[in-house]
Chains A and B, each alone.
Chain A
Amino acid sequence: MEFLGSFSGAFTSFNLLIALAGVTLGLVIGALPGLSATLAVAVLVPFTFTMAPASGLIALGAVYMGAIAGGSFSAILINTPGTPSSIATTFDGYPMAQRGDGGLAITLAVLASTIGGVVGVVALWGLAPPLADVALAFGPPEYFWLAVLGLTLISALSAGNTLKGLIGAAIGLLLSTVGVAVVGGDVRYTLDTQVLLGGIDITSALIGFYCVPVVLDLVATRAPHLKLPGNGGYRIAHAVRIMLAGKLNLLRSSAIGTLVGILPGAGGSIAGLIAYAEARRASKYPERFGKGEPDGLIATETSNNATVGGGFIPTLVLGIPGTPPDAIILGALLVQGIRTGPSLFDPQGDGAIYTFMAGLMIAALLVLPVGLLIGRYAYRAILSIPKPLLVPSLAFLTIIGSFAIHSDPSDTQMMLALGVAAWLLQKAGFSPSPIVLGLVLGQIAEQGFVQAYLIGSAQNDLPGMFFGRPISLVILAVVVLTLAYPLVVKWFKSRQAGRLSEIGEILAHEGQPEQKPFRDTPAIVFGGLFAILGILAWLEARDMSAMGSVFPTTLSLVWVSLSLALVARQAFKPKAPRATPDGSERPSTPRRVLLVAVMTAWAVLMPVLGFFVSSLAAFLSITAIASFERMSPRTLVVNLVSGIVIVGAFYMLMSQALGLRMPEGIGF
Chain B
Amino acid sequence: MRGTSFRTLIQALAMGATLALAGGAQAQGYPSEPINYVIPFNPGGESDVSARFQQAVFEQVAGVKTVIQYMPGAGGAKGWSKLNSMPGDGYTMMGINLPHAILQPMQKDVGYKTEDLVSVHYFHYTPDAIFVQKDSPIKTLGDLIEQARKTPGAVTFSGSSSYSSNHLAQARLDELAGIKTTYIPFSGTGPAIAAVLGKQTVAGFNFATSAIAHADSMRMLAVATEQRMPAFPDVPTFRELGYDLVGGAYRGLAVPSSTPEDARRKLSAIISGINAEPEFRKKMEDGGFVLIDIDYEKMPAFMAAKQKEYGELADKLGIKPR
Q: Which A residues are within 8 Å of any B CB, using their own CB?
A: 21, 24-25, 28-29, 38, 42-47, 49, 135-140, 179-185, 187, 192, 194, 197-199, 201, 264-265, 314, 318-321, 324, 326-328, 330-332, 334-335, 337, 339-343, 374, 377-378, 380-381, 384-385, 406-408, 410, 443, 447, 451, 454-455, 457-460, 642, 645, 649, 652-653, 656-661, 664
Q: Which B residues are within 8 Å of any A CB, using their own CB?
A: 1-2, 4-6, 8-13, 15-17, 19-20, 22, 34, 36, 42-45, 48-49, 52-53, 55-56, 65, 67-75, 77-78, 81-82, 87, 91-92, 107-111, 153-156, 161-163, 182, 184-187, 190-191, 193-195, 197-201, 212-217, 283, 287
Query: How far, in Å, is B238 (CB) from chain A's closest CB?
Result: 23
With A46-B55, A136-B197, A380-B1 already in contact, 18 other A-B pairs whose C-beta atoms are closer than 8 Å: A42-B43, A47-B19, A140-B200, A180-B74, A182-B162, A318-B197, A324-B42, A335-B56, A377-B8, A384-B2, A385-B5, A443-B187, A454-B184, A458-B153, A460-B154, A642-B2, A649-B6, A664-B87
Residues of A within 8 A of B44 (CB): 321, 324, 326-328, 330-331
> Are A194's CB and B191's CB within 8 A?
no
> Are B214's CB and A319's CB within 8 A?
yes
Distance, CA A139 to CA B42, complexed state (A): 21
| In-complex Cβ contact of B71 among A140, A326, A374, A406 (8 A) | A406
Query: How far, in Å, is B259 (CB) from chain A's closest CB?
Result: 14
Q: Which residue of A lies closest to B163 (CB)?
A: A185
| In-complex Cβ contact of A454 among B4, B6, B45, B182 (8 A) | B182
Residues of A within 8 A of B4 (CB): 377, 380-381
Distance, CA A551 to CA B243, complexed state (A): 38
Query: How far, in Å, is A449 (CB) from chain B's closest CB?
Result: 12
Residues of A within 8 A of B215 (CB): 341
| In-complex Cβ contact of A334 among B9, B49, B91, B161 (8 A) | B49
Residues of B within 8 A of A374 (CB): 8
> Are B81's CB and A194's CB within 8 A?
yes
> Are B187's CB and A265's CB within 8 A?
yes
> Are A45's CB and B186's CB within 8 A?
no
Given contacts A25-B12, A330-B44, A377-B5, contact A194 B111 (CB under 8 A): yes
Distance, CA A312 to CA B213, complexed state (A): 15
| In-complex Cβ contact of A381 among B1, B34, B191, B199 (8 A) | B1
Query: How far, in Å, is A8 (CB) from chain B's closest CB?
Result: 26
> Are B107's CB and A185's CB within 8 A?
yes
Distance, CA A265 to CA B44, complexed state (A): 12
> Are B52's CB and A331's CB within 8 A?
yes
Given contacts A320-B194, A324-B43, A326-B44, contact A24 B1 (CB under 8 A): no
Residues of A within 8 A of B72 (CB): 198, 406
Distance, CA A28 to CA B185, complexed state (A): 38
> Are A455's CB and B194's CB within 8 A?
no
Distance, CA A185 to CA B163, complexed state (A): 7
Residues of B within 8 A of A342 (CB): 216
> Are B111's CB and A327's CB within 8 A?
no
Query: How far, in Å, is B161 (CB) from chain A's closest CB?
Result: 6
> Are A46's CB and B69's CB within 8 A?
no
Distance, CA A60 to CA B110, complexed state (A): 36
Query: How far, in Å, is A546 (CB) from chain B's closest CB?
Result: 13
Distance, CA A47 to CA B68, complexed state (A): 12
> Are B197's CB and A331's CB within 8 A?
no
Q: Which residue of A lies closest to B54 (CB)?
A: A335
Residues of A within 8 A of B6 (CB): 645, 649
Q: Which residue of B lies closest to A343 (CB)?
A: B216
> Are B48's CB and A331's CB within 8 A?
yes
> Are B287's CB and A454's CB within 8 A?
no
Interface centre among A179, A331, A642 (most CB of B within 10 A): A331
Residues of A within 8 A of B108 (CB): 187
> Are B195's CB and A139's CB within 8 A?
yes
> Are B191's CB and A341's CB within 8 A?
no
> Are B2's CB and A334's CB within 8 A?
no
Q: Which residue of A lies closest to B181 (CB)?
A: A458
Closest 6 pairs (CB-CB, A-B) = A198-B73, A657-B16, A327-B44, A319-B213, A198-B78, A136-B198
> Are B73's CB and A197's CB within 8 A?
yes
Q: Which residue of B lies closest to A132 (CB)?
A: B197
Q: Which residue of B lies closest to A659 (CB)?
A: B67
> Are A407's CB and B71's CB within 8 A?
yes
**13 A-B residue pairings within 8 Å (CB atoms):** A45-B68, A139-B200, A198-B74, A328-B43, A331-B44, A335-B53, A384-B2, A454-B182, A649-B6, A653-B16, A659-B36, A659-B67, A660-B67
Query: How far, in Å, is B171 (CB) from chain A's closest CB?
Result: 13
Query: How far, in Å, is B319 (CB) from chain A's closest CB?
Result: 9
Distance, CA A652 to CA B12, complexed state (A): 11
Interface of B is mostly: mixed
Residues of A within 8 A of B92 (CB): 661
Residues of B within 8 A of A138 (CB): 198
> Are B19's CB and A649's CB within 8 A?
no
> Are A657's CB and B214's CB within 8 A?
no
| In-complex Cβ contact of B194 among A43, A135, A192 (8 A) | A135
Distance, CA A25 to CA B11, complexed state (A): 9
> Are B111's CB and A197's CB within 8 A?
yes
Residues of B within 8 A of A28 (CB): 8, 11-12
Residues of B within 8 A of A377 (CB): 4-5, 8
Distance, CA A668 to CA B162, complexed state (A): 40
> Are B110's CB and A459's CB within 8 A?
no
Residues of B within 8 A of A185 (CB): 75, 107, 161-163, 185
Residues of B within 8 A of A642 (CB): 2
Distance, CA A185 to CA B160, complexed state (A): 11
> Are B82's CB and A327's CB within 8 A?
no
Query: How far, in Å, is B144 (CB) from chain A's closest CB?
Result: 14
| In-complex Cβ contact of B213 among A340, A455, A657 (8 A) | A340
Given contacts A649-B9, A658-B16, contact A406 B69 (CB under 8 A): yes
Q: Which residue of B lies closest to A374 (CB)?
A: B8
> Are B1's CB and A264's CB within 8 A?
no
Distance, CA A10 to CA B283, complexed state (A): 28
Residues of B within 8 A of A658 (CB): 16
Distance, CA A273 to CA B3, complexed state (A): 36
Distance, CA A458 to CA B157, complexed state (A): 11
Q: Which residue of B lies closest to A134 (CB)?
A: B198
Interface centre among A377, A378, A406, A642 (most CB of B within 10 A): A406
Residues of A within 8 A of B182 (CB): 454-455, 457-458
Residues of B within 8 A of A327 (CB): 42-45, 48, 190
Residues of B within 8 A of A183 (CB): 162, 185
> Are A25's CB and B52's CB within 8 A?
no
Distance, CA A374 to CA B4, complexed state (A): 10
Interface centre among A181, A198, A321 (most CB of B within 10 A): A198
Interface centre among B10, B81, B108, B190 (most CB of A within 10 A): B190
> Are B53's CB and A334's CB within 8 A?
yes
> Are B70's CB and A42's CB within 8 A?
yes
| In-complex Cβ contact of B16 among A140, A199, A406, A656 (8 A) | A656
Residues of B within 8 A of A194 (CB): 78, 81-82, 111
Distance, CA A140 to CA B182, complexed state (A): 15
> Are B191's CB and A264's CB within 8 A?
yes
Q: Which residue of A lies closest to B8 (CB)?
A: A377
Query: How far, in Å, is A39 (CB) from chain B's closest CB?
Result: 9
Query: How far, in Å, is B280 (CB) from chain A's closest CB?
Result: 10
Q: Which residue of B lies closest to A459 (CB)?
A: B154
Residues of A within 8 A of B74 (CB): 179-180, 197-199
Query: How far, in Å, is A130 (CB) from chain B's closest CB?
Result: 14
Distance, CA A321 to CA B213, complexed state (A): 12
Given contacts A341-B213, A377-B5, contact A197 B78 (CB under 8 A): yes
> Are B154's CB and A656's CB within 8 A?
no
> Are B9's CB and A408's CB within 8 A?
no
Residues of B within 8 A of A410 (CB): 82
| In-complex Cβ contact of A451 among B52, B56, B186 (8 A) | B186
> Are B186's CB and A182's CB within 8 A?
yes
Residues of B within 8 A of A447 (CB): 186-187
Residues of B within 8 A of A180 (CB): 73-75, 77, 110
Query: How far, in Å, is A330 (CB) from chain B's closest CB?
Result: 6
> Are A657's CB and B20's CB within 8 A?
yes
